[in-house]
Amino acid sequence: MSRFDEEIDRYGTHSVKWDMMERIYGVPAQDGGAKDGLAMWVADMDFRPPTCVQSALQSMLDHGVYGYYGDDQSYREAIQWWMQTRHNWTIDPKSIFTTHGLVNGVAICLETYTAPGDGVVLFTPVYHAFARTIRAAGREVVECQLTQGEAGYEMDFDAYDAQMTGKETMVILCSPHNPGGRVWTKEELQGVADFARRHDLILVSDEIHHDLTMPGHTHLPMPLVDESIQDRLVMLTAPSKTFNIAGAHCGNVIIADETLRARFAARMMGLGMSANSFGLFMTEAAYSPEGAAWVDELVPYLDVNRKLFDAGVNAIPGLKSMVMQSTYLAWVDFSGTGMTREEFTNRVQNEARIAANHGPTFGTGGDSFLRFNFATPRARIIEATERLQAAFGDLQ
C-alpha cells in the first residue's frame, strides 16, 4: 500500500474542492452518509505533503509565536537548490520574489509591464485564471488557439503572427501545459521565445507544473532554451502544485534581468506586499532532499492513476482523454459522443456524480472538454471510471 492510497476525508475542512462542489457543480460531496460525489475538479491533490513540510509547520506551532518573518537567506537558497538539482537551472537568489501564489504573480506582472487596453496573448485552451485576471485588470485577452496533433496540443506560429495587431505587449505561456498536459519541446519553446521577440512582448512563463512530468518526459525551463530571452523573461514557479500546499499561497517570480526586476520590485513595494511566514517555512522545508524523495514517489503513483483513468475513459466510445505528458489533470474530449455540452456534463455531474472543470472556462477550443483531476487515492480513480462507464453505458 502506498502512502497516497489513504482516503483522507476533506469534507467540512473549508476545502474548495470538496466543500464547494455542490454549490458550483450541483454534486454533493461525500459526507459519510448517502452522498457520494467525487471531487475531480480544482488542481489540488487529496494527499498530505511530505513529513518535512508537516514537521516545519509543527515546529512553528510548538514555538507558538507568530511574528514578522525575517532573514530569508535559507529560504532563497532552498529555492536555488531545487531549481539547480531538479531542473539544472542556475538562478541568482537575488532574482526571487515571493507573491501570494502565482495568480497574484500574474496580476502583478500585468500591472508592472502592461497598460490598460494592451493585448495579452494566451495559447488557448489554457488555465482559466489567466484570462480572468487579464480582463479584471482592464487588458485584452488575445487568444492564439492551439491545434491538435499526434502528441496533443501544438502551436502554429504563422497563424499567430498573422493575428498580431501591434497592441500586444505580453504573452503568458503555461509550461508544462494545463489543461493539455504537454511538456513543450525545445523547438516549441524556442518558437515561443522567437515569437515574443518578433512582436516585442514580455514573456511570462508559468512553470508551476514543472515537477510533475510523467516518466519519459523532461521539462525544460525557458532560460535553458534561450539564454538571450532573459531581457524580456519573467519566470513563475511555486511549490504549491508539487507538494499540495496551495492554501499557503506562496509563489515565486524569478527575474534575471535587473531592469525588469527593479520594475517588479517597485510595483510590489507600491502594493505593500510581503510574504506570509507559513508559506516561506513550508517552501523551505519542501525544497529539500526529503521533499525530492517524496516527489519521486508521487510521480509514479500519479502515472499509474493517469493510465488507469485514461484506459477507463478511452474504453467508452466517443470519449478521448488527451495523452498526458505532465500534471495530474486529464483533458477529456466528449465531442465523439455527438451529445450537446449540457447533456454530457449532466451525465458526468448527475449520473456519475463527479465534479470536473468545464472546458469552456479554459477559452476557445475547450467547448467539448471536461478536465478531471486524478491526484486522489487510486480506489477513487477506479470508482470514477466505473461510474463514467455506467453513465455512458448506452454508448457501449
Contact set with ligand PLP (CB under 6 A): 43, 101-103, 127, 174, 178, 206, 208, 238, 240, 246, 251
Q: How far is the CB of 208 from ligand PLP (least distance, A)?
A: 4
Report the alpha-carbon distance of residue 276 to residue 236 in Å, rounded: 18
Q: What angle do CA 287, 289, 292 make, to 5 degrees?
A: 70
Q: Which set of grid coordinates corresponds to residue 248?
A: 499557503
Residues with Cβ within 8 Å of 221's Cβ and at least 6 positions away in sequence, in order, are 83, 87, 88, 89, 205, 207, 210, 235
Q: Which is nearer to ligand PLP, 321 or 326 (CB)?
A: 326
Q: How far is the CB of 127 from ligand PLP (least distance, A)?
A: 4
Q: How far is the CB of 316 from ligand PLP (least distance, A)?
A: 26
Q: Which is nearer to ligand PLP, 240 or 305 (CB)?
A: 240
Q: Residue 11: what are its φ and ψ, rounded to 5°?
A: -65, 135
Q: Which is nearer to ligand PLP, 119 or 251 (CB)?
A: 251
Report the alpha-carbon distance of residue 60 to residue 76 in Å, rounded: 19
Q: How many C-beta neighbours within 10 Å does residue 26 have?
A: 13
The most distant pair of C-alpha atoms in the chain lies apart, rounded to whole Å, by 62
Q: Which set of grid coordinates corresponds to residue 86?
A: 531538479
Query: Which among 208, 254, 267 has a CA at the least distance from the CA of 95?
Result: 254
Q: Are 140 and 134 in contact (CB under 8 A)?
A: yes
Query: Which among 167, 166, 165, 178 has a CA at the least distance from the CA of 208?
Result: 178
Q: How far is the CB of 346 from ligand PLP (least distance, A)?
A: 25
Query: Which among 213, 214, 196, 205 has a CA at the least distance from the CA of 174?
Result: 205
CB-based closest residue to ligand PLP: 101
Q: Which is nearer to ligand PLP, 125 or 251 (CB)?
A: 251
Q: Which set of grid coordinates corresponds to residue 375?
A: 491526484
Q: Which is nearer to ligand PLP, 56 or 204 (CB)?
A: 204
Task: Cell 519521486: give the residue.
Answer: 296
Q: Looking at this protein, which amino acid is placed at residue 281?
A: F
Report the alpha-carbon distance of residue 181 to residue 183 in Å, rounded: 7
Q: What angle do CA 175, 149, 159 make, to 5 degrees?
A: 75
Q: Which is nearer to ligand PLP, 52 or 174 (CB)?
A: 174
Q: How far is the CB of 337 from ligand PLP (least distance, A)?
A: 27
Q: How far is the CB of 20 from ligand PLP (least distance, A)?
A: 15
Q: How far is the CB of 217 from ligand PLP (least distance, A)?
A: 17
Q: How far is the CB of 206 from ligand PLP (least distance, A)?
A: 5
Q: How far is the CB of 34 from ligand PLP (least distance, A)?
A: 31
Q: Which is nearer to ligand PLP, 208 or 298 (CB)?
A: 208
Q: Which is nearer to ligand PLP, 252 or 349 (CB)?
A: 252
Q: Are 10 and 18 in contact (CB under 8 A)?
A: yes
Q: Which is nearer to ligand PLP, 279 or 312 (CB)?
A: 279
Q: Which helix (H) or strand (E) holds 103?
A: helix 102-113
